[in-house]
């Protein structure tokens, strides 16, 4: 049985994702493809546009055979820990032969060389990186400049969103001494952050913008027809929906409290507190705080960590390099029952199919990671538009999604 893993947010699932699934299946001749998907909150520091069960159903209809949850501890982390957490889960599954990911380039050797340099940096690279950081630029920009200066190659390898993640996946595979084979699909259609809807394949950012503006009729051309009715029935959630909750936190947390939040450094806690009274919406707070060093995405991740109480202590406790996670199945196709059975037999970590029953098999540390997941789901539901939708404990009451495909 040949199986390929894909790490994705599917926020939401669209035609570009369907193209990637098909391309990965063809390139690897896989019998099955499973996705490791971000849950309620995503890597750019935002809530997912739709809840994780809605997105699981769309992903299964769009071509994946099984969807596994990427714990929110990793889904909201830096690109490095996002990739490490995902690859750790894939490697622990015991069923993955390949990992397929999109990038702005299809030059695997160039990406591998960049990953090798980052894993084993030269003294010159390290000095250039320090010099760039001293200018007040963001870490990704400084790293790309150092890479270009050290190698003489185009900094784009470490500048574009998907290339950065691709390099981090390759680093993680090396870290875990994994034999899983990396497979690249070059991105097609709109750029990752493009807001344009110009044809069948648009970026997830553009699709979210269409949803935000209420122009759902435009989704007909950008999402698979089998997913359209799912989105029509679902309620979208936006990060600014949590502004009341954030205002409460900012008015009750001290500088010392904020200093312990994951991602806080260099006195940023004091600058955050100074925004109280000036800005109310989360997006406005981040706009006020944004500098060359602190990008909008990094600030949004910090806001997300504040909402969820993700601290620096959690970073150490759940470090992917040392921590053994659990694997939680969110959904699968009926035709992929063999894949699910194989996962349950071969996984080196506990597999959760039913939270009520299976959490008993977790270690204390694994259980605390699951508790964070439950908290994230409960917080996410606060962002839903109607009081009746703001339910508690959905991680206990929502069953595994099974699509009869």
pLDDT at 198: 59
pLDDT at 339 exceeding the cut of 90? yes
Q: What is the mean pLDDT of residues 56-60?
A: 98
Pick the more confident residue, 332 or 214: 332
Distance CA(404)–CA(282), nearest Å, equals: 40
Other CB atoms within 10 Å distance of the CB of residue 291: 12
pLDDT at 5 exceeding the cut of 80? yes
Provide the whole-model pTM. 0.92
Q: Could you tell me what percent of the chain has a pLDDT over 70?
A: 97
> How far apart, in Å, are the Cα atoms of 55 and each of 10, 46, 321?
7, 15, 28
pLDDT at 239: 96
Q: What is the mean pLDDT of residues 328-350?
A: 97
DSSP 3-state assignment of 255?
A: helix
Q: Comparing 23-27, 31-35, 120-124, 195-199, which segment has the lowest mean pLDDT?
A: 195-199
Alpha helices in 176-221 (DSSP H): 204-212
> How far apart, in Å, are the Cα atoms of 82 and each of 132, 150, 274?
24, 26, 30
Pick the more confident residue, 152 or 6: 6
Please report which confidence band the pLDDT of residue 140 belongs to, taking 50, 70 and 90 as the band edges.
Answer: confident
**Spatial CA neighbour of 332 closest among 346, 349, 351, 314:** 351
The secondary structure element, H or E, covering residue 5 is strand 3-8
The sign of the torsion formed by the CA atoms of 26, 27, 28, 34 equals negative
The secondary structure element, H or E, covering residue 181 is strand 181-186
pLDDT at 203: 82
Q: Could you tell me what percent of the chain has a pLDDT over 90?
A: 73
- Strand pairing of 3-8 and 32-37? parallel
Q: pLDDT per residue over 171-230, tens digit each?
A: 999 999 999 999 998 876 545 455 556 556 778 888 898 888 887 777 888 899 999 899
Angle in degrees, 0-180, between the axes of helices 52-62 and 15-28, rounded to the nearest 10? 50
The sign of the torsion formed by the CA atoms of 215, 216, 217, 219 equals positive
pLDDT at 192: 47
pLDDT at 276 exceeding the cut of 90? no
Pick the more confident residue, 373 or 157: 373
pLDDT at 101: 94
pLDDT at 212: 86
Pick the more confident residue, 29 or 266: 29
Please report which confidence band the pLDDT of residue 21 belongs to, taking 50, 70 and 90 as the band edges.
Answer: very high
pLDDT at 220: 80
Q: What is the mean pLDDT of residues 248-269?
A: 94
C-beta separation of 326 from 372 below 8 A: no
Other CB atoms within 10 Å distance of the CB of residue 388: 7
pLDDT at 160: 87
**Which residue in the block uniquely carries the two structure tokens 């894939």?**
90
pLDDT at 170 exceeding the cut of 60? yes
Q: Which domains, from first to last, does the chain contain?
A: 3-104+181-237+323-403 (3.40.50.620), 110-159 (no CATH), 239-314 (no CATH)
pLDDT at 292: 81
Q: What is the mean pLDDT of residues 28-43?
A: 97
The per-residue pLDDT of the chain, averaged, comes to 92
Sheet strands (E) in 223-284: none
Contacts of 125 (CB under 8 A, 6+ apart): 117, 146, 147, 149, 150
């Amino acid at each position: 049985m040949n199986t390929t893993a894909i790490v994705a947010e599917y926020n939401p699932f669209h035609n570009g994702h369907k193209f990637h699934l098909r391309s990965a299946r063809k390139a690897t001749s896989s019998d099955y493809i499973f996705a490791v998907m971000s849950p309620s909150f995503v890597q750019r520091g935002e809530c997912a546009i739709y809840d994780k069960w809605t997105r699981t159903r769309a992903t299964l209809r769009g071509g994946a055979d099984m969807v596994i949850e990427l714990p929110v501890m990793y889904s909201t982390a830096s690109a490095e820990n996002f990739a490490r957490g995902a690859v750790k889960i894939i490697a622990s599954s015991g069923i993955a032969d390949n990992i397929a990911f999109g990038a702005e380039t299809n030059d695997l050797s160039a990406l591998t060389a960049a990953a090798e340099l980052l894993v084993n940096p030269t003294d010159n690279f390290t000095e250039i990186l320090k010099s760039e950081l001293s200018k007040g630029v963001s870490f990704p920009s400084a790293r790309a400049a150092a890479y270009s200066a050290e190698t003489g190659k185009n900094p784009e390898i470490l500048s574009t969103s998907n290339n950065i993640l691709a390099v981090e996946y390759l680093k993680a595979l090396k870290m875990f001494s994994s034999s899983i084979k990396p497979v690249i699909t070059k991105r097609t259609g709109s750029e990752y952050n493009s807001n344009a809807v110009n044809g069948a394949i648009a970026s997830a950012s553009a699709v979210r913008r269409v949803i935000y503006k209420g122009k759902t009729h435009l989704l007909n051309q950008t999402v698979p027809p089998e997913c359209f009715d799912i989105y029509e029935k679902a309620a979208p959630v936006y990060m600014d929906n949590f502004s009341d909750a954030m205002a409460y936190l900012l008015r009750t947390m001290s500088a010392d409290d904020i200093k312990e939040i994951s991602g806080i450094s260099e006195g940023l806690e004091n600058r955050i507190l100074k925004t109280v009274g000036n800005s109310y919406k989360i997006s406005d707070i981040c706009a006020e705080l944004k500098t060359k060093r602190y990008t909008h995405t990094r600030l949004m991740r910090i806001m997300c960590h504040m909402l969820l109480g993700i601290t620096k202590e959690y970073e150490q406790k759940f470090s992917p390099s040392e921590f053994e996670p659990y694997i939680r199945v969110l959904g699968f196709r009926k035709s992929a029952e063999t894949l699910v059975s194989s996962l349950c037999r071969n996984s080196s970590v506990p597999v959760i199919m039913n939270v009520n029953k299976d959490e008993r098999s977790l270690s204390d540390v694994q259980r605390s990671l699951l508790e964070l997941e439950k908290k994230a789901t409960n917080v996410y539901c606060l962002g839903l538009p109607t009081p009746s939708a703001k339910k508690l404990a959905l991680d206990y009451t929502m069953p595994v999604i099974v699509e009869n495909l």
